[in-house]
Amino acid sequence: MAKRSDAITKGFDRTPHRALLKGTGVPQQEMDKPFIGIATSFTDLIPGHTGMRDLERFIEKGVHTGGGYAFFFGIPGVCDGIAMGHKGMHYSLPTRELIADMVESVAEAHRLDGLILLTNCDKITPGMLMAAARLDIPCLVVTAGPMLTGAGREGRKFSFVSDTFEAMAKYKAGVIDEKELMVCEDMACPTAGSCQGLFTANTMAILTETLGMSLVRCGTALAVSSLKRRIAFASGQRIVELVRDGITPRQIMTKAAFENAIRVDVALGGSSNTVLHLLSIAREAGVELPLSEFDRISRETPQLASMNPGGKHFMEDLDGAGGVAGVLYQLRSLVKDNPTLTGPSVKEIIASVGSVDEEVIRPMSDPYRAEGGIAILAGNLAPEGAVVKQSGVSEQMMVFEGRARCFDSEEGAMAALMGGQVVAGDVVVIRYEGPKGGPGMREMLAPTATLMGLGLGDSVALITDGRFSGGTRGPCIGHISPEAAEGGPIGLVRDGDRIRLDIPARKLELLVDDAELARRQAAWTAPEPKIKTGWLARYAKVVTSAHTGAICKA
């Protein structure tokens, strides 16, 4: 079998290359085996990644059992929760591009035959998938899995967002005392793994499995489970088979696969960040995926689950209820057949489902909501679109009109919120936080969680050209395009302007006449960049709008 690695192992003119490989400890008899790179994002900095050393061992065992030779190389990770609310969050989304570039660079420079991509958190998983689609060599993703909820008295379950960010605001409002706040802090993250609800990390793990890029149950199996170890081992074996059979990501990540992924996403009420990520992955895979597809699929797909942060169930519940296969089973009349890297096709996986816990994953005849979790809005405030996680919005806030309170940074908005300056009937406008203006399109979990913790979730809306954590709930509209830094209408809003949100009608409107908006546009000038040096300054020059996936121009 001809292999990519032959370029560094075959022929007399590759004597220096083999010498260096032997310098790493590779025996001569292993030179003919498929060379499998294991791109690992292990770090002590992120709870979702601290358990990866264990999974690395099992992947390596699987690769060698399958007849390959494994090589580890490192990929960086940023914890969005730790990076939240300060300069660090500027770096989170841009790392997605760095991760894709790093995986590409190592795989191409060392002519690896196949890759296992060991990942878990928000930007790391989509960055890995972008690289897989770009390289189009055999690749398999292992997501490290969610953490358990914290167990409290009387059946209470503690989780990261509800019991840290929202608890912080409750403490500020006097709803809980310092002792209860400390209990929340101690119980919110009790084990290794990605945060327990359907935030971005877990949503992306689920969508990776739905796309067919990881093994069955990988998307929901808990980080602390022996099942996750067995999945890691099986993935190591399977990647060698994929190399020998010549099966590559673009054969798997088809238009049907992306449609299935969107359908599962909206049926579960997943993170709004998946819009950015699926758009960027599809582009790398050569699949045309317009923003409008998310709204079309969401309108025809009912929401079948009530997942934290907006609902009552956690990842451990979803895994026990049937996982991704269980969701596909309940959606079977809408799901398209497609190959997977596992071996069985999507329809064959559905046919293998024995039972589903319909308390957690309801049938389509009895949904939580008639429509899926994501809605794409448009209007004179967002000519190129905006995104809302409608699964986290209460019925009374699906249509809302209020007065604008404008802030040119997240910090300004947080100061006003914590200072009691935002009141019922306001629409908080946070701008110059988009891909270019931020730069880096920071997540706004702190202000959105503060709104909920202060009890303003049913009386105040928030709009931004930035984005939200998967932990966000409430009437929060992000990804407004074009962004303020590009001269978008969100940059023209003034304090006191009326803004109308109509999610059922998919409208976001600034109630100011066209002539006045034209006068404001003529007077608008681009602000000075917030960051003028380093990687972020370069990123701001090449990043595109949110409605395209915030990708970097070639």
* Cα–Cα distance for residue pair 316/198, rounded to 1 Å: 11
What are the φ/ψ torsions at residue 206 (nearest 5 degrees)?
Answer: -65, -40
Report helix, strand or coil for 307: strand
Neighbours of 549 (CB within 10 A): 24
Active-site pick, 159, 469, 481, 545: 469
SS3 per residue for 31-57: CCCCEEEEEECCCCCCCCCCCHHHHHH
Beta carbons of 494 and 511 less than 8 angstroms apart: no
Determine how many CB atoms are found less than 10 A away from the CB of residue 157: 19
Structure tokens at 416: 């006003």
Task: State how far the Cα of 83 lies from the Cα of 156, in Å rounded to an integer.
Answer: 28
Residue 469 a catalytic site member: yes
**What is the residue-wise DSSP string for 68-121?**
-EEEEEE-----HHHHTTSGGGGGHHHHHHHHHHHHHHHHHHTT-SEEEEEE-S
User: 242: number of CA atoms within 13 Å, CB side?
Assistant: 33
The closest of 81, 48, 85 to 466, measured between CA atoms, is 85
Task: Give the C-alpha separation, 86 to 88, whole Å.
Answer: 5
Known catalytic residues are 469
